[in-house]
Amino acid sequence: MKTTDKKTTTAKKTTTAAASKTASKTTAAKNGAVKAKASAADGLRELFVDSLKDIYWAEKALTKALPKMAKNATSENLIKAINDHLTVTQEQTARLEKVFSLVGEKASAKKCDAMEGLIKEGESIMEETEKGPVRDAGIIAASQKIEHYEIATYGTLAAFTTTLGEDDAVLLLEKTLAEEKEADTLLTETAYNTINFDAAAEDEK
């Protein structure tokens, strides 16, 4: 085969490969595939650490949001529940730092879009309700959404550490998971004891 023919054949193969790659990307985009970032996790441990940084940020943000909720609540039971959970949240933040240490990572936070959104939603609910039982009911609703997010997150992190064989970290994460479930139950009891009924009574005035 002549040199020119070889060059032509090679060029055609390169063009075909590039076209195939482009077509593959186009197909992936049409199918809704998400292109990974350059810094994307490529292993379970990386995903775990990334998620750990996420919830670390979330807990720190929550310690700033809870006092505002307490100031806007009127039910003594609700105020106590929020303040008690603030203390627990601070302990959970310190516990996360221990988890970082156990898995050989430096404690660092990564902005949690989910928690930021949930906190903003809570602020919106307070802005859209009059102070009293109706706002109290709204604060409970916002708080429980936060608790459910945390329950899902800590459950997942505990599962990750179990798979990774980080037994000491599992114990710490499961302790926090139990606390989040307890807080959710307490909020439900607080709502059904009086607040939801008092809020409903406002409709009759």
189 — pLDDT class (breaks 50, 70, 90):
confident
Return the pLDDT at 99.
Answer: 98
Mean of pLDDT values over 144-162: 97
Nearest CA to 132 among 177, 179, 184, 195?
195
Lowest mean pLDDT among 96-105, 138-147, 158-167, 182-191: 182-191
Specify the higher pLDDT residue, 192 or 56.
56
Q: From start to end of 25-83, where are the E strands? A: none
Give pLDDT, residue 190.
83
C-beta of residue 140 within 8 angstroms of C-beta of residue 195: yes
Euclidean distance between CA atoms 90 and 47, whole angstroms: 24
State residue 5's pLDDT score: 57
Domains of the chain: 44-202 (1.20.1260.10)
Instruction: Give the pLDDT band of residue 15 (cuts 50, 70, 90).
Output: low
Average pLDDT estimate for 20-40: 60
Query: Which whole number is the average pLDDT over 23-31?
Result: 55
**What confidence score (pLDDT) does residue 50 get?**
96
Per cent of the chain over pLDDT 90 is 69
Q: pTM for the complete prediction?
A: 0.79
Instruction: Yes or no: say if 154 and 96 are a contact pair by the CB < 8 Å rule.
Output: no
**Residue 158 C-alpha from the chain's centroid:** 14
58 φ/ψ sector (left φ>0, alpha ψ -120 to 50, else beta):
alpha
Separation CA 188–CA 190 (nearest Å): 5
